Amino acid sequence: MKNSESYISIDLGATSGRTIVGTFTPEGLVTKEINRFPNHLIAVGHHLYWDLWELYRNLLEGLRMAAREETKIVSIGIDTWGVDFVCVGEDGGVLRQPYAYRDPQTEGAAQRYFERVPQKRVYKLTGIQVMDFNTLFQFDTLCRRKDSAFRAAGKFLFMPDALAYLLTGQMVCEYTIASTSQLVNVHSRKLEPELLSSVGLTEDRFGRFVYPGEKVGVLTDEVQRLTGMGPVPVIAVAGHDTASAVAAVPADQPNFAYLSSGTWSLMGVETTTPVIHAEAEALNFTNEGGVNGTIRLLKNICGMWLLECCRQNWSDVSYSELIAEAEQSEPFRNLIAPDDPLFAHPSDMETAIRRYVVAHRQPAIETRGQLVRCIFESLALRYREVLADLCRLSPHPVEILHVIGGGSRNELLNQWTANAIGLPVVAGPAEATAVGNLLVQALANGDGPTLDEMRKRIAQAVPLKTYVPEHPERWSAAYRKFQEVTR
């Protein structure tokens, strides 16, 4: 191990971003958060956009602060959420702010596309679950709308690749982030010409195709001047934040499932080959790219988005208060289907949940604690439902669930998840995405052993907590109720 060398992880989620400096030592991993900043959606003209320039400004600020650290920076890696992209003109300039995946223009977009291209054909080629905001359907929507930026674009860069381009001047298309688009052939692990053609595109409209661990370029002279850094390389890590998070699962054996818990909950297993058949398609499971040639067989579940939206009405009440109120409320009084379309884009989430329970013949929600408990219990029971499907699809048994990401700090939900699924739950690391980002950089630099061995070192270096299932009969009865009221 090279103790004096450090790596920079730039980790951008749908609500916030952070810059972290990490150093791998013989004892494990030492990290330091350099800066943290919000990531706001911009609503203009009935559309939702990401503020690319504000993200870039915060990236530069993080690099400027990291340059003052007393360590040698070996490389930089960037990961973000999936599917969204930036349109770049023939002259290399950004044509407009990128649309956000929550923009309403793609509502019903998948079915409109399937009127031209059979759904089964798309799944056979890509193995990707159908979600209206997938890049394939965004492209099709922009084609239909004759969007000016889409028509003028010389290149399309997915979000981490766009930010790497601003830092290095080099355009790439990283495999794991591209795999979320529903434009990558799951067998060849390259962009699929047939699907590109269906939306009027060719492979040359994207950057050089790269895989986790490959070099994008070095910081431009301008960025070096603005940050005080030298010609530091930018490495294509697992550009999709979930792919980076899964790389950091502190597993000591292969028979595990993971739950990346944040705004979204993503539950899955690692496989070496895609799982594509009628049942996987019917259950809408996805086969996304992972590190070291792995496939992430997973399911998207609405996660803490439900609670975060409700908190907008509650004047910044603390999580500890909400959890205390939930614990004091009646168990299993109200349950919802977290993935019901009603909760995708509500004007008021609290009102949407209250209406749902009444419409499904349950008692009206009277207190905030009842509502929070409803969200947590419903998520735990939904995890049980998805895990049951996952176990039928997985090529290996599942003996333990690793909860990673910000949701791993939620002790109440972790315990209820263990209760619901009837398996041990290991929680941590909370900053799994940043850790996975750092890990891929270290492996690319030859700084450390194999991925499996690095995972074991993470398990030793990061505080973890194990939750053992409790009250199995009570939770089995609750699951039966959940299935009845959410039909």
**Spatial contact of 10 and 163, defined as CB atoms under 8 Å apart:** yes
Cα distance between residue 267 and residue 297, in whole Å: 8
The residue assigned the tokens 């990061």 is: 462
Q: In terms of residues, how long is the chain?
A: 487
Cα distance between residue 238 and residue 175, in whole Å: 8
Q: For residue 371, how many C-alpha atoms fall within 13 Å in the half-sphere facing its CB?
A: 23
Non-local (6+) Cβ contacts of 452 within 8 A are none
Q: CA 298, 304, 309, 312 torsion: positive or negative?
A: negative
The residue assigned the tokens 């299932």 is: 469
The answer to whether residue 452 is catalytic is no
Cα distance between residue 219 and residue 217, in whole Å: 7
Tokens representing 167 are 């830092």
Cα distance between residue 343 and residue 322, in whole Å: 20
The residue assigned the tokens 């496989």 is: 271
Sort residue 78 into left (φ over 0), alpha (ψ -120 to 50) or beta: beta
Report in angstroms the alpha-carbon separations of 107 from 102, 114, 258. Answer: 9, 14, 29
Check 241, 316, 348, 447 and give the catalytic one: 241
Cα distance between residue 109 and residue 105, in whole Å: 8
Tokens representing 142 are 């922009």
DSSP tag of 94: B
Residues identified as active-site: 241
